[in-house]
Every structure is written in structure tokens, then in C-alpha cells.
Amino acid sequence: MDLSSATTEISLELENPEVVIKSIPGDTWVDKLRNSFTEADLNHDNQLSFSEWMQSRIRYLLSQEPLSDTDFAAFFRQIDTDGNDVISWLELLEEVMCQQKSKTETSFNKYIMIDNEAPNSTVVHQYPIAQTIIKMVFLPYDDQIVMLTESALQFWDINTCQRAKIFTDNCIFVDFDYIKMMGIIVIARNDRKIIFYDIRKAQKTNIILSPCLDSSIIPGLSAYESKVTLKELKQTKIPPLYNSPSAVCSIPEFKGFLVGNDTGQVEAFEFTLSTSAILDFGCQRIAKIKIHTKNITRITYSKAMDTYVSSSYDGSISLFSFNPKQRDFNLKQLIKDPKGFPINTFVIDDRTSEIIYATPTHYIGAFHAFQPYIHITETPSQLVSSMCVISTHFSSFLFTISVNNFVSVYATPTFELITSYFLEKHHQKCPPTSSLYIGGRIFMGGAYLSRWACQTSDSGTFKPHSDIITGLSVSQTLQNVISCDARGTVMFWSFHSGSKALNFECGSEKGNVTVMVTDQNARRLIFGFSNGQLKTASITTGSILYDTTIKNCGSISFIIQGPLNNIKYIVCECGRGQIVLFEDLPGNKMKLVRIINAHTEQISSVIMIKSTLILSLGSDKEMFSWTPKSVVPHVKYVVDSPTCACDLELSEDSFVVGDIKGNIHFYNISSPNCIKTIVPFTCKRRFSITCITSDDNKVAVGNSGGYISLLKLKNDTISTLFEHRCNVESVLYLSISRKYRTVITSGDEQDIKLFSFDGPFIGQIGFNRHFDVSDSKSWAENCPLEFDPDDFVEKNPENSENSEEKETKTDEEMISEETKAVVEDSDDDYQPVTFSAINFGEMTSVLDSIDEVYKSGNDAANFARKSLRIEKKDEEKRSSSLMTFDSFFSDNHAESNYHRIEALMGKKQNIPKFLSPSKKKKLPI
């Protein structure tokens, strides 16, 4: 079906959105979405065709305003990643799960970055599936986190995230807390008992609290002895509990604790000195109060409010105080969930005195202490299992983990969604059910303890990625900029705010991401890895669609996807001068077609030209075009040191190539020779061309000096629209958005910047500056970097023709002068022998030649090697440095692109006769 044509045929008369939404059955947003889907499913097969989709009322639920036919159709194409022209309920739910779309569009002015620190993702698979973590408590003096499961009390080191020790008691645990003044952990069990664990002795104490007399501590007595014993129990220092304990909380600055039970009562206990030789201490109940009507799920203390907070399965949260000296409770507030759902857990934001709670349904509630109003935030696809609050001096964030291993971060008190992503590599077997925020780090407890560095910013100093950016693209449908780093973290950045709209993980445990591109229809992301792995993923959800590994392959550096002679291919370069062709099959499958041994040089770029040929560039003199079935190159082009290439959309037979000298060459696909050469920059220094991209009649060019230039091609004329310096170092990625008339750049500094076609700098992604590409008033005032005066010279018609020749002469003079200086500084008896090597292979052949020519003995060969002086030339900084042969290899300079080697032979009296100046042989180089 032609979706674009169908879009124009189907039109829906939009009604009042509020009226339509109210008429859709369902109490929550996700219920309305499900009912709208079922309502439109006329065939009752749990999927919607395009026509059913366009007639549905789902369009009212996906954004603040009803989507137009064009946007609604684009949303259909966005979700339909498998291209079968139908959308299932699971596909729609998966889309909503990642993007968390709701009636209120988010606009974020605060930023947060979370990065895993420990343990390494490559070793987490060794942890088996574990029980649910009930609670986590931090022990500051031991640098340990204590985690409680139903069967064990575990102690984990926060620095190594390794388990230090474990305590079990052949029973089921319910809750626990740490009594700081006693150095004791209080543990509630489900057999109606409370036990105590001494941290210093690392063992359980003898004292036990129970709602009834424990028969195990009573020896066999006669009837009379039993009667006497029961009377003496009235004076016991171990009073029984009223009911089964369900929650425990320590009392700060007091040797005591609170116990919540299954009937809604809260009891206060105080530790006393024991008079028994068997027991280490005593325990005395000093007060009790009835607060809730059902099982108490949690009790905690807020230091900022000096108040205790408790929650219950009866759907209520209470705020109360307890005075240990007067031994009395004071109930301050009791508030109930509007729908009466049980409350599983809650957290307290001490900065704002806000209490946020989670229920077993698709929403979370929040209210300010001592105020009666509850704010409900829907989580359409997530059931929250754990929460913690991340606070700074100026802002707070709610960190949530769902039962399906999704992490979401909300800005409070508005609960705007900042980020939502899937913990793909971590906690796969057992999603975290408890979390703590301690000293700028988040600790998640599941099958193991993981530590995550957390940085928040109100001034907006964060870069978009914490690792090297390996891909940059634009999604016109999603209206986002897409970026990826070496870890496999994919970020979506809004054109209308410059802030993050979505992110997910698509990394691999076996290798780093080396390249990321989008397919031709912008439905999939294609990833290449350092280990030869190739992945495709949904652009909207991050779900892995296909995963394969190329055998005997190096690191994948380039990937392209598109049609060649009406057959779709995925083409990649595997790091060994080879090009690998996959046929892109329906259903997100790939079939290996062939491997082309394309180059004897390292491949510097691979592109598709005119949907018929593959163009591959070597690092020196090779540039070939290939057909998908050809064994030999279709055309061998004449070129010198190409770096990158790009197809021209408006031309039927032309493409452009950049080189290391800063030139742009125009080629015809059928002719081996260049037809035109231009210099796109006005730099005095000829920086290498690092990237080229085109869209319509626009061509964007970046170089190794950090400059970008936007060219406009019209007929036979070429004009420059703007030239900017956007990076201190190389520009690595360029992308063009025709819809927003924007050029997006990224470089070595791991930043992303946006420039308008008209020239002005729009803004920088990842920094807290709100901008909208469609509103010029929100753009940045100045460009990020000023031009380097040393890189530019005023235009002078008289000497412009000879500028390039003059520059080349200056280079040669500079190198010769430095070489001359080395000889002059040496002894007069030294004899210089100068030769060049372009790469490491040539340098090896030079050394072999020395051994071959001067083979009168090993001493002579070794002498020649030791006397080598290697001069490394830095093309960008216009400088060179001398180093010895040994330091050259020890400093890993073997991969440098250019070297000048000078052999300064020793004194005459130490030189063998065949090396003397009169009989010196010339090196065969």
C-alpha cells in the first residue's frame, strides 16, 4: 500500500479533543489507549491496518493536540518497523514504553547524566537470578550497603560492588533497619518474630521478640513449675509483640526502634541493659499507636521535617512524630490515595518536603507534606518497583526502575520525563527492586549491586555523550537529531528544545560501537562494532531486529544502506581492505552476498553513488567503483590521498571527493579523471577534508582544523553560504536537515552543534540553553569559536595564485632547515643519509634494505639501525620532531602517516670501509 497516497485520501474530522478523550472508556491513559486500539480493530486480530489506524481515536492520545493526517501517518510508519503495513498492540505499546508519550509534552530545562561505574558489564552474567531486594541500607563507617532478600542479609562493598558476607536464618525476612547507636541490625521475620544481628561480632544475638511465648526456650517442666514460670514472665525484659511485624525503622539519636505490624499498629521499643547472663541486652516496649487499618509496608524518618512517614496496603500515608522522652506518638497527617490502591513504597524529597509513592498500577502519586492535594503522574507502560530521589541545592529528580527493567528520571515537582532507557546490559535476569542515592552515585540492588555515577546540572554544563561519538544522523519523522557513542548509547535530541527526548542502549559486551547510521527510510539504526559485529535496531524503541558477526573480520568502520539496481543492500568495510555486501531482506533479515577484496591500502571511505555503484577510497592512490556482482573495479579513478566522498543528489553522473590537501574534486562516474577541483575553505593552512555530506543542492564540508563550509550548487556555479569554526580539533560528522534548514556537526570534543543555512549559530545540544530551530529569537548570540588568525590571510589578487606554491615551498624549506640543523649540531665526521617512508610497512622495508646492502656483518647492520634518527611531521601543527629508533617504536608511533628518516652515520674511524664517504653505497629507496 502506498501510505503517502492513502494519507491524502483519508481524512478525519477532528472534534474537541477534551470531549473525545472523555468519551473514550478507561480511567487511566493506558486504558484509554488500549480501548481506542480495540475499538479500531474491526477484524479482532489484535492489529491495525493503515486504514483502521487512520480512522482510530488514538491520534488524540499521542500528543497535546490531535495529530494531523500527515503526522498520524508518519507515526504509523515510525512504529511499523517490520514494514508489513500493520501495527500490533505490542508494537504500539513498545513505542509508548520507550517514548513515554502522554497528554503533556515535556520541555526540560534540567539535565542529568547517569553512567555505569561498577561492575563491568562483561562480568554481570555470572550472577544468578536472585530474590527480590526488599530494602537497602547504607553503613557509612564500613563503606558497605546491606541488602535484604527474603532469605538472606547481604553485605556489599560500595567501592568494588562485590559481596563481602551473607547472613541467613532459615526463615523468610520481611524488613530490617540499622540501629546506629547500638551497632545492631533489627530484622523482622514472617514467622511473627524479630531478631537482632550484631555487626561488630558478625553474628545473631540471643534476644528474640515474638507476639507469643516461644516454646523452644522453655525446658520440660511439670505443671506446677510451668505455672510458676508463667507468673515470672510478667517481669520479663523481652515483652511480646502485639502482632506480626511488617516494617521496621530506627529512632535517630535513641537506642530504640519502631515496628509496624499487619494490623496497622506502630510500636516503639527501647533497648535496655540486660541482667541475664545469656542475653547481651534487653528490650522494652514503651509506646504504641493505631494508625492504619491494614499491613504497614514501610516506615521511614525524615530529618528535614523531623517526622516519621508510614504507608500501608489500605492506600494511606501517615505523618507522625514520636517523643522518646515522653514516650508518646502524635499523628500529624493521614492522606489516602484517591483511588484507594495499595501503596507499595514511597520516597521523601527533603529539599521540597514532597512525598512520592508508588502503587501496583500505572501511576505514581505525590503530595507536599501537610497539604491535602495529591498529584498523579501516569506511567502508561511501567509498573514502578523502586524509587529514589536525586537532590541538588537547586533541583530534584525522581529516579524510578520498573518491573520490565526500564529506568526513568523525572524532574520534580512537575514530573516532566527527562530520560527513559532500558538496562540492556545490566540486571537482565533480575531487575533492580531497590535503589539508593549516596554522594552523587546511584546504587541499584538486584541479583547484584551496581554503582552508577550521577551528575546533575542546573547551569547546563553537560556534553551530549560521555564517550566518543561514533554516529550522527537526523530523523525528519521524529523531528530529532540522533547520536551514538562507543558504548552504544543512542540519544535523540529535539529540534524544538535542544534537550534530550529519548535514549536507549544498543551496545555489545564483546566490542565497542565504531559506526552508527540510519537506513534509507529512517526506520532502523545500523551499528558496526570493533569485533566485526553488525546489528540493526528499531529507530523508535531500540529493539534489536537483527544481529550477526562477520567471521575473520576486523573493526567495521563504514556502513551504508540503500538500493543498488533496485535491490537493497547493507554494505560495510571490515578493516582489512575488504568490502562486505549483505542483501537487505524483508522482515529485518540480512543475507551475506559476497566479500570483495577491494584494496591493498587501508580503506578511508565507502559510499553508494547513483544507486548503481559502490565507491571505495583507499588511503593513498586508490579509488574504485564497483557493481554488486563485479570481481574487478568498474572504474579506477585517478586521485591523490583521498579522505572522504559524497554523492550529489541533483546530478545524474557526478560525485565529489575530498583529499588530504584540503581540496574538493568533482568526478564523473564513468570517467577516471577529475573534471573540476575547488578549495572550499579560505584557510591559509590546507587542512585535510574529514567529512562531506549533501542534501538537495547543499554540500557541507568539514576539515581537520575544526572548520565547516556550506556550499550551494546551482547549474555550473558554486557559492559559499557560510564558513564557521565549530571545533578546536577535527570535524568528524556532518548531517543536513532540509526540513529545518540546519547543518548539524560533531567533532573530537564530543559535542553537537547546529547552524542555520543562513549562517547564524543556533545552539549546542546537551547544554542547558533552550532553543527552537524554527524560532530565531531563541538562537545563540555568538558562534562557539572565533577564527584562528593564523589560519586565515586577507585576500590579495596579486599573490593568491602563488599562495599554494609558496606554502609548499615553505614546508620543504622548514623540513630541510631542521634536517640541516641536526647535521650541524652533530660532529663534523658524521655523514647524513636521508630517505623517506610513508608508513610503517615502508619503514620496515628500509631497515631490511640496510641489512641487505650492508651485509658484511651483523655489527654493521646493528650500527646502521642504532644510528637512525626518525623525524615525525605533524601536518596540522606544521611542526616536526626528532626521535630515536627505539623511542619511535616504544611510543607507538608506527601508525603515523608521514615520517622522514635520517641515518647519521658514526665517526670515520668507527665506520666500516664500505660505509666510508668515498665508498658509501646509496640506499635502494
Rounded distance, CA 531 to CA 842, Å? Answer: 28
* Contact (CB, 8 A) for 466 and 452: no
Q: Does domain 474-597 have CATH number 2.40.340.10?
A: no
CB-based burial of residue 906 (10 Å sphere; 0-12 exposed, 13-18 middle, 19+ buried)?
Answer: middle
Burial class (CB in 10 A: 0-12, 13-18, 19+), 369: buried
- Any idea of the CA torsion for 570, 571, 575, 579, to the nearest 10 degrees? 140
For the chain, state the CA radius of gyration.
Answer: 36
Comparing CA positions, the residue from 99, 121, 16, 681 lying closest to residue 379 is 99
Q: What is the pLDDT of residue 259?
A: 93
Contacts of 764 (CB under 8 A, 6+ apart): 498, 751, 752, 753, 754, 780, 784
CATH superfamily ID and name for 680-795: YVTN repeat-like/Quinoprotein amine dehydrogenase (2.130.10.10)
Domain boundaries, given as residue ranges, for the chain = 3-99, 474-597, 680-795, 818-915
User: How confident is the model at residue 866, as a pLDDT?
Assistant: 46
CA gap 659, 755 in Å, rounded? 24
Provide the residue type at 689 as one letter.
Answer: I
Extract the C-alpha cell encoding 185: 541490625
Q: How far apart are CA 40 and CA 55, in angstroms?
A: 7
Q: Answer whether 474-597 and 680-795 agree in fold.
A: yes
Closest alpha carbon to 437 in 492, 406, 399: 399
414-445 b/e (C-beta count within 10 Å ≥ 16 → b)? ebbbbbbbbbbbbbbebbbbbbbbeeebbbbb
| Residue-wise burial string across 479-504, b where 16 or more C-beta atoms lie within 10 A, e elsewhere | bbbbbbbbbbbbbbbbbbbbbbbbbb
Cell numbers of 766, please?
546537551
209 dihedral zone (left: phi>0; alpha: psi -120 to 50; beta): beta
Query: Residue 571: what pLDDT?
Result: 93
Q: Whole-angstrom Cα distance, residue 260 to residue 301?
A: 13
Give pTM, 2 decimals.
0.49
CA–CA distances in Å: residue 832 to residues 22, 83, 192, 575, 856: 90, 68, 92, 38, 20
Instruction: Determine the pLDDT at residue 647.
Output: 92
Q: Is 163 exposed, middle or buried (0-12, 13-18, 19+ CB in 10 A)?
A: middle
H or E segment and range at residue 864: helix 858-866
Residue listed under C-alpha cell 503517502: 4
Cell of 672: 577516471
How many angstroms separate the CA atoms of 207 and 217, rounded?
11
How far is CA 378 from each of CA 31, 52, 104, 433, 791, rounded to the nearest angstrom?
11, 27, 11, 20, 55
d(CA 476, CA 737): 7
What are the Cα distances from residue 669, in Å, to 337, 627, 898? 70, 12, 31
Residue 370: left if φ>0, alpha if ψ -120 to 50, beta else—which one? left
Pair 756, 742: CB distance under 8 Å: yes
**Position 164, amino acid:** A
For the record, the C-alpha cell of 387 comes out as: 524509587
Compute the distance between CA of residue 871 and CA of residue 901 in angstroms, rounded to an integer. Answer: 6
What pLDDT does 279 receive? 55
Q: Taking a C-beta distance cutoff of 8 angstroms, is the pair 243, 260 a contact? A: no
Domain 3-99: give its CATH code: 1.10.238.10
CA distance 598 to 605: 12
pLDDT attached to residue 780: 81
pLDDT at 239: 55
Residue range 716-772, pLDDT digits in tens: 788 888 898 888 888 999 999 888 889 999 887 778 888 998 878 888 886 555 678
pLDDT along the chain (925 residues), means of 10: 38 62 75 84 86 86 73 76 74 61 32 72 71 88 88 90 89 91 89 88 84 51 65 54 85 91 90 64 85 92 92 93 91 90 90 88 87 81 79 77 82 75 72 86 87 65 74 83 88 80 77 89 88 88 86 85 91 85 89 88 89 90 89 89 90 91 91 90 87 91 91 86 87 90 86 87 73 82 78 54 43 42 39 45 59 48 47 47 45 38 36 35 35
Cell numbers that stand for 389 in this block: 530521589
Using left for φ > 0, alpha for ψ between -120 and 50, and beta otherwise, residue 712 falls in beta
The Cα 369–Cα 348 span in angstroms is: 10
Quote the Cα angle for 889-894-898, to 5°.
Answer: 125
Give CA separation, 325 vs 232, 256, 265, 268, 481, in Å. 28, 12, 20, 12, 61
Task: Sheet with 406-412: list strands edge to edge.
Answer: 384-391, 396-402, 406-412, 416-422
The neighbouring-strand residues paired with 364 are: 358, 377
How many Å apart are CA 562 and CA 216, to the nearest integer?
Answer: 77
3-state DSSP call for residue 59?
helix
Closest CA to 263 of 239, 238, 241, 240: 241
Phi, psi for 655 (deg, rounded to 5) = -150, 165
CA distance 395 to 110: 8
Identify how many contiguous H helices and E strands the chain contains and give both numbers: 11, 62
